[in-house]
Amino acid sequence: MTSQMHLNLNLRGIGFHRAAWRHPESQPTEVCSLEYYTRIVQAAEKAKLDAVFLADSPKVYSEREPLAMSNEPLTLLAALAAQTSHIGLIGTISTTYNDPYEVALRFASLDHLSGGRIGMNFVTSSGDAIARNFGFDSHPDFELRYERAAEFVDVVLALWSGQQVTHHGRFFDVEGALPIVPSPQGFPVLVQAGASDRGRDMAARRAEAVYTGSSTIPNGLEFYDDVKARLAKFGRAPQSAKILPGVVPYIGSTEAEGKALEAELEELATKNVDVIGQLGDELGVDFSIYDLDGPFPLEALPHYTQFKGGQSRLNRLRTWVQQENLTIRELAVKVEKGLRNVHWTTSGSAEQIADELESWFRAGAADGFNILVPLHPRGTLDFTEQVVPILQRRGLFRTEYSGSTLSDHFGLEPELRPVPQPAPAR
């Protein structure tokens, strides 16, 4: 664990609450506006946050999701790079539906244009809906996705080495070099999210920042200790990868105000959602044969090889059921309430939120956090203007940037970073 925590801000358009678009302080018509994101990111930079992060999933999940994710990450981050000077800019790319040469060139170019502030979050994507957008009937199975992802990242790193690449692998054939020299930080920071065994191994092998859906200190500790231990298997130091759980904070000037904001957003949520049907569709389970108010049947959860969604999500659903003894109905409601995410959610005063972050950090369950505010832009201001100053006064977070690149912010000294080398011919 480092002496100070790292903080990233997620730029999900309207925020992480499913009813955020209905709140009077929300600005749903602005989610495609550069000015909207500029205000948010400049507030994060003023607070000295490490980075902002843009997720990406090229599909529409439901009638409410277009308000959540509306911009292609690299396009928006390129525009934001011109509006900022220090804060890191992390974008997501699918290793399943892209080619490594194009991705390597796009990220390397943006890393130059931003002065070395770019991170690449590599994901395998999930769900058949995405596959159909790219001309496929179904999403590749789990093992195939991860084998492709591993080769993809190897090729990208080889291209970032600045050398001629001759690679003939199972998934890619690449012969050539990027027409660009290394950036001020050498190459973009590698970011990954994944809680399965394969995902943890990939994180330990290549990732420099790892996003996780840990929801309690005990399961946060399990993930943290496991990934840090795996780093040694790949010859890497523990501090070479930062573990950053996601947290959804409802912040008020008092505990009552924080909880009131959560209650207000819940009141605004759409009530005519078939939560049990949604959960059944996601898991591929017909819950009509079960007692909805009886113990959740663990045998109904799919094996990871049959689940087309994210493994972090499947693991978290299983943990919730086992640790909280949930019924089918309770799990379905919990999943819907959390905008179908699996992250730690907390509400209270800024002081209480800071206390909880400090507890996780000092317990060794996190190197920092991925902040998923429930409502943009209010949540960003609540966090940066109320919570961050408390963490700074406690010596838990920086008061000034000590460097200019994203790898500087994460404390990734050159000897801690992966060494880009030409990918071996196969």
Give the 3-state secondary structure of residue 387: helix
Q: Provide the pairing of β-strand 165-168 with 173-176.
A: antiparallel
Tokens read off for 112: 């130059």
254: Cβ–Cβ under 8 A, 6 or more apart, which residues? 349
Tokens read off for 27: 């600005």
Please identify which residue in the block is written with the tokens 């959540």: 68
The most distant pair of C-alpha atoms in the chain lies apart, rounded to whole Å, by 61
How many other C-beta atoms are found inside a 10 Å radius of the C-beta of residue 323?
12
The rounded Cα 144 to chain-centroid distance in angstroms is: 22
Give the alpha-carbon dihedral of 102, 124, 2, 384, to 10 degrees: 80
Beta strands in 88-208 (DSSP E): 88-94, 118-123, 165-168, 173-176, 189-193
Is 293 labelled a binding residue?
Answer: no
Write down the H helix ranges in 161-196.
Answer: none
Tokens read off for 245: 């759980």
Closest CA to 190 of 201, 204, 206, 178: 206
Beta strands in 293-332 (DSSP E): none
The rounded distance, in Å, linking the Cα atoms of 376 and 68 is 10
Is 146 labelled a binding residue?
Answer: yes
State the number of CA atoms in the 13 A half-sphere of 96 facing the CB: 26
* Separation in Å, CA 1 to CA 4, 16, 166: 8, 28, 39
State whether the Cα torsion 404-405-410-412 is positive or negative.
negative
The rounded distance, in Å, linking the Cα atoms of 354 and 357 is 5
DSSP, residue by residue, 264-281: HHHHHS-S---HHHHHHH
Is 56 labelled a binding residue?
Answer: yes
- 112 and 180 Cβ atoms separated by less than 8 Å: yes
Give the 3-state secondary structure of residue 92: strand
* Separation in Å, CA 364 to CA 215, 223, 343, 360, 367: 14, 11, 18, 6, 7
Residues annotated within a binding site: 56, 92, 146, 196
User: Binding site for FMN, residues?
Assistant: 56, 92, 146, 196
